[in-house]
């Protein structure tokens, strides 16, 4: 376990470029054990790129990423799960032609401890009774909200130390979005540290402890979530007030 | 679940162990008796046994391609190249063709060693094809694999100059048959006073390896690797996010698929006694792919059925069309060989329109492609409104 003083994730001066385009232009991020941090910003601000870089799907051009005390900036994408850094991809990324149960099992792909896996499975079903009802159903036939539950449940099966959520509300009806955020609060209450990327800034900040605001590849504001909600500049730019 | 239960499950039987075993025993007895049933009931019986031998070889090929296409979702249009690799490898080591260049100890390896070599070398060729195409999918991958298949064939066709390695388009002749336990296949064999012809001997040999490959296929599907293949087929990014090394897993799919092809190819060369590049044309790759798609992608019994149907139908047509023409018209108007592609194309179109999931799909794939999903959508509607009510 990390001590409370040293952050679980620490990103320093991270730069990412696709060809000649600089998507992320030197950002600093810190997440402490047990926190729920929101990263908000408009389309194309570089949020998803940042997340993909954190889990090795995109290689950084410069800067350092350290997770749980180790430099992870050069690791391959599949090396992150076993270290406890787990991504719930944008658009959910479930396996549509596998059943709900098989999807959850895939989350424990790197693990070999059968008894523990069964225990975690039961825990996920406790968290999402809806999924238990549908465990034999193909995940692709579920509603959007249920698919998001599968994606989050599957990530929990990897026993994450830090869970990265990429736009969990994307493409969902407003009422379902509320449900998903309830779930995120529930997962946070279980003690899972999370970094949440959202376009729905209001909901995200209402849920998170802290927030970062990203604009064209740089972080412009970093503050407590409550302070951000009260910040007039943020209100007019992102909260539609 | 045991293997017997799995196989019984394909036929819709329950999980009753006794029942499953009985079915498996009946099936085994039938398979063992099949060549004698055929040669006993038809005048041209031995040619039918020969057709069945080829059907078994095609089953191995189709199961190999099924790993690549059905499990891992990588469209491969050059699969026959691995069959060619296995066949030429066997020919090199078991014929006078390049014996002069090889040390004597390399020639005529024992059967199991030979097939192991074929599997490993073909597997390496699979990796050779897989490595440069890791980032390709769908149509693009299909084009590259198609090119690969042609490259191998054209190499075989042209490697008779400057040094004669493959004997070019004339192919390699005088390939020695397999020997096992001191018996050379092809020599007449008597068993309790019953004459067992060459095609029958090969039937049992190929059947044994076919069963082995079916067994390996089943085990692979259920393994960790099998699940990883399915995951990359479904969503590569999500698979990587689950900790699956997508590069290695893909290469392994290519290698495993290719090794099945290599084994099949070696048995083919040994059975045929003669090979030439003509046996490995693009059409053969397409045929094997048809077997997989027609039978039911990713479903082992479906793929086996597809291979049997596609490889036997042309022979059956030959048996039916000529007598039919003789009887109806008094003369032969069409050559069944020409009719074959017409019928085949027609059958493919009809099946793909009516049963896009294949003739014998897994239950899951059937659910997915047939309107049962509509019912689920309605159910979903209900739960959505319910959720809405809850929320208010």
A·B CB contacts under 8 A = 89
Q: Which of A78, A140, A173 sits opposite B245 (nearest CB)?
A: A78
The residue with greater pLDDT, A93 or B249, is: B249
Question: Which of A48, A56, A76, A77 would you mutate first to test chain B, the one with the most B CBs within 10 A?
Answer: A77
Q: Is A81's Cβ below 8 Å from some Cβ in B? A: yes
Q: Is the pLDDT of residue B4 over 80?
A: no
Q: Residue A179 and residue B391: Cβ atoms within 8 Å? A: yes
Split at pLDDT 50, 70, 90, the class of B172 is very high
Closest-CA residue of A relative to B246 is A78
Q: Residue A141 and residue B246: Cβ atoms within 8 Å? A: no
Lowest mean pLDDT among B19-23, B91-95, B212-216: B19-23
Give the pLDDT of residue B88.
96
> How close is the nearest chain B Cα to the Cα of A94, in Å?
7
**Mean pLDDT along residues B158-170:** 89
Give the pLDDT of residue B124.
97
Give the pLDDT of residue B392.
47
Residues B77 and B145: beta-carbon distance below 8 Å: yes
**Mean pLDDT along residues B48-77:** 94
Residues A27 and A50: beta-carbon distance below 8 Å: yes
d(CA B179, CA B300): 30
Q: Is A96's Cβ below 8 Å from some Cβ in B? A: yes
pTM above 0.90, yes or no: no
Per-residue pLDDT of chain A in tens (241 residues, 90 and over written 9): 444 567 899 999 999 998 888 899 999 999 999 999 999 988 888 999 999 999 998 999 999 999 998 999 889 988 999 999 999 988 878 999 889 999 999 999 988 888 999 999 999 999 899 999 999 999 999 988 899 999 999 999 999 999 999 999 888 888 889 989 999 999 999 889 999 999 889 999 999 999 999 999 999 999 999 999 999 888 888 887 6
DSSP letter assigned to residue B172 = B
Q: Residue A158 and residue B242: Cβ atoms within 8 Å? A: yes
Q: Is B386's Cβ below 8 Å from some Cβ in A? A: no
> How close is the nearest chain B Cα to the Cα of A11, in Å?
20
Q: Which of A57, A98, A173 sits opposite B234 (nearest CB)?
A: A98
The residue with greater pLDDT, B390 or B273, is: B273
Split at pLDDT 50, 70, 90, the class of B191 is confident
ipTM of this complex: 0.84
Q: Is the pLDDT of residue B118 over 90?
A: yes
Give the pLDDT of residue A2.
44
Residues B206 and B125: beta-carbon distance below 8 Å: no
Split at pLDDT 50, 70, 90, the class of B382 is low
C-alpha distances out from residue B372 to A103, B287, B367, Å: 21, 31, 6
Give the pLDDT of residue B352.
83
**Mean pLDDT along residues B79-99:** 94
Split at pLDDT 50, 70, 90, the class of B46 is confident
The two tokens of residue B351 are 């099946």
- What is the residue-wise DSSP string for B6-73? HHHHHTT--S-HHHHHHHHHHHHHHHHHHHHHHHHH-TTHHHHHHHHHHHHHHHHHHHHHIIIIIIS-
Q: Is A79's Cβ below 8 Å from some Cβ in B? A: yes
B103 phi/psi in degrees, rounded to 5: -65, 150
The residue with greater pLDDT, B19 or B371, is: B19
- Please report where in the chains the tokens 């074929």 appear, as a residue: B118
Split at pLDDT 50, 70, 90, the class of B390 is low
Q: Is B307's Cβ below 8 Å from some Cβ in A? A: no
For residue range B299-344, list pLDDT tens digits in order. 999 999 999 998 988 888 777 877 888 888 877 777 777 777 787 7
For residue range A11-43, list pLDDT tens digits in order. 999 999 988 888 999 999 999 999 999 999 888
Average pLDDT, chain B: 86
d(CA B175, CA B171): 11
Q: Is the pLDDT of residue B14 over 60?
A: no
Q: Residue B227 and residue A106: Cβ atoms within 8 Å? A: yes
**Exposure of A220 by Cβ count < 10 A (0-12 exposed, 13-18 middle, 19+ buried)?**
middle
Q: Is the pLDDT of residue B385 over 70?
A: no
Split at pLDDT 50, 70, 90, the class of B2 is low
Closest-CA residue of A relative to B380 is A143
Residues A39 and A98: beta-carbon distance below 8 Å: no
Whether the CA torsion B44, B45, B47, B48 is positive or negative: it is positive
Q: Is B222's Cβ below 8 Å from some Cβ in A? A: no
**Mean pLDDT along residues B337-360:** 82
């Amino acid at each position: 376990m990390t001590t409370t003083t040293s952050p679980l994730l620490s990103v320093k001066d991270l730069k990412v470029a696709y060809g000649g385009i600089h998507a992320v232009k030197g950002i600093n991020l810190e997440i402490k054990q047990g926190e729920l941090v929101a990263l908000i910003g408009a389309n194309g601000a570089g949020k998803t790129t940042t997340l993909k870089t954190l889990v090795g799907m995109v290689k950084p051009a410069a800067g350092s990423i350290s997770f749980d005390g180790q430099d992870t900036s050069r690791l391959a994408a599949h090396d992150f799960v076993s270290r406890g850094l787990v991504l719930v991809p944008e658009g959910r990324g479930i396996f549509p032609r596998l059943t709900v149960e098989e999807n959850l099992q895939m989350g424990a792909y790197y693990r070999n401890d059968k008894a523990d896996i069964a225990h975690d499975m039961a825990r996920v079903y406790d968290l999402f009774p809806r999924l238990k009802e549908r465990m034999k159903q193909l995940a692709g036939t579920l509603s959007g909200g249920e698919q998001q539950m599968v994606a989050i449940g599957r990530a929990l099966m990897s026993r994450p130390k830090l869970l990265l959520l990429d736009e969990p509300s994307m493409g969902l009806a407003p009422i379902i979005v509320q449900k998903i955020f309830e779930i995120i609060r529930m997962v946070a209450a279980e003690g899972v540290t999370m970094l949440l990327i959202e376009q729905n800034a209001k909901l995200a900040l209402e849920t998170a402890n802290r927030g970062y605001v990203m604009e064209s590849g740089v972080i412009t504001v970093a503050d407590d979530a409550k302070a951000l909600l009260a910040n007039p500049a943020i209100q007019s730019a992102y909260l539609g007030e | 679940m045991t293997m017997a239960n799995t196989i019984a499950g394909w036929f819709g039987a329950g999980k009753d162990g006794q029942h499953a075993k009985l079915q498996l025993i009946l099936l085994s007895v039938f398979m063992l008796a099949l060549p004698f049933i055929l040669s006993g009931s038809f005048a041209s019986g031995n040619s039918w046994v020969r057709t069945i031998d080829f059907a078994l070889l095609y089953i191995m090929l189709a199961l190999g391609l099924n790993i690549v296409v059905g499990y891992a979702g990588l469209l491969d249009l050059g699969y026959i190249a691995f069959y060619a690799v296995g066949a030429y490898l066997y020919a090199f080591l078991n014929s006078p063709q390049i014996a002069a260049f090889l040390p004597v100890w390399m020639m005529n390896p024992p059967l199991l060693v030979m097939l192991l070599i074929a599997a490993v070398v073909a597997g390496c060729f699979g990796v050779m094809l897989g490595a440069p195409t890791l980032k390709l999918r769908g149509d693009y991958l299909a084009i590259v694999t198609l090119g690969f298949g042609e490259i191998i064939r054209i190499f075989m066709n042209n490697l008779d100059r400057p040094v004669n390695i493959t004997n070019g388009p004339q192919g390699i002749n005088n390939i020695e048959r397999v020997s096992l336990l001191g018996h050379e296949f092809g020599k007449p064999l008597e068993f309790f006073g019953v004459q067992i012809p060459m095609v029958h001997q090969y039937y049992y040999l190929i059947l044994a390896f076919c069963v082995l490959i079916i067994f390996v296929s089943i085990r692979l599907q259920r393994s960790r690797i099998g699940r990883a293949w399915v995951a990359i087929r479904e969503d590569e990014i999500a698979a990587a996010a689950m900790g699956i090394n997508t590069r290695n897993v893909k290469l392994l799919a290519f290698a495993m698929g290719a090794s099945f092809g290599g084994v099949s190819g070696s048995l083919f060369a040994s059975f045929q006694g003669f090979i030439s590049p003509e046996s490995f044309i693009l059409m053969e790759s397409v045929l094997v792919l048809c077997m997989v798609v027609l039978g039911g992608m990713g479903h082992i019994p479906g793929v086996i059925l597809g291979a049997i149907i596609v490889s036997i139908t042309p022979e059956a047509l030959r048996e039916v069309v000529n007598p039919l023409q003789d009887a109806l018209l008094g003369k032969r108007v069409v050559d069944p060989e020409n009719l074959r592609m017409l019928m085949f194309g027609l059958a493919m179109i009809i099946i793909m329109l009516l049963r896009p999931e294949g003739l014998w799909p897994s239950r899951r794939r059937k659910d997915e492609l047939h309107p049962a999903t509509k019912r689920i959508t309605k159910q979903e509607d209900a739960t959505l409104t319910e959720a809405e009510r809850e929320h208010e």
